[in-house]
């Protein structure tokens, strides 16, 4: 197994972001995939891939990419929000609502655990 290469992941991800901004979602998806290959835990690249796939109309692939991200970061509300958006655009509305609810619950858990919230309760 090869070591993750954060620098390559960052470079590919930045190229993907630039391509998304230029309206080239298909090529951006390729760059984000290269970034994920360089560093599978580079969650920003996963988010970029999900967006690029949605922007290029590949909604089912976007759902699959979002599911991979939720497996990588199961406690991240943004991952579940990305899944919800992808599911909705793919026409899976009940599943999208479930993912959105999961994102809200995770966000509430984070808020309840924050020191600021604990200080306010005192």
For residue range 5-53, list pLDDT tens digits in order: 999 999 999 999 999 999 999 999 999 999 999 999 999 999 999 999 9
Structural domain boundaries enclosing 51: 6-121
CATH of the domain at 46: 1.25.40.10
Cα→Cα distances 47→17, 67, 92, 117, 122, Å: 11, 11, 19, 29, 37
Closest CA to 56 of 33, 81, 79: 33
> Structurally, how many domains does the chain consist of?
1
pTM of the model: 0.87
Contacts of residue 20, Cβ cutoff 8 Å, sequence gap at least 6: 28, 48, 51, 52, 55
Does residue 1 form part of some domain?
Answer: no
């Amino acid at each position: 197994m090869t070591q993750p290469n954060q620098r390559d992941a960052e470079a590919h991800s930045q190229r993907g972001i630039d391509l998304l901004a230029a309206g080239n979602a298909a090529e951006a998806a390729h760059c984000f995939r290269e970034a994920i290959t360089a560093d599978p835990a580079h969650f920003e690249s996963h988010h970029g891939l999900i967006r690029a796939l949605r922007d290029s109309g590949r909604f089912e692939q976007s759902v699959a990419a979002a599911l991979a991200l939720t497996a990588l970061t199961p406690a991240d509300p943004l991952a579940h929000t990305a899944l919800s958006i992808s599911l909705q655009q793919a026409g899976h509305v009940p599943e999208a609502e479930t993912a959105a609810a999961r994102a809200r619950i995770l966000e509430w858990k984070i808020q309840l655990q924050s020191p600021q919230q604990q200080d306010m309760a005192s």
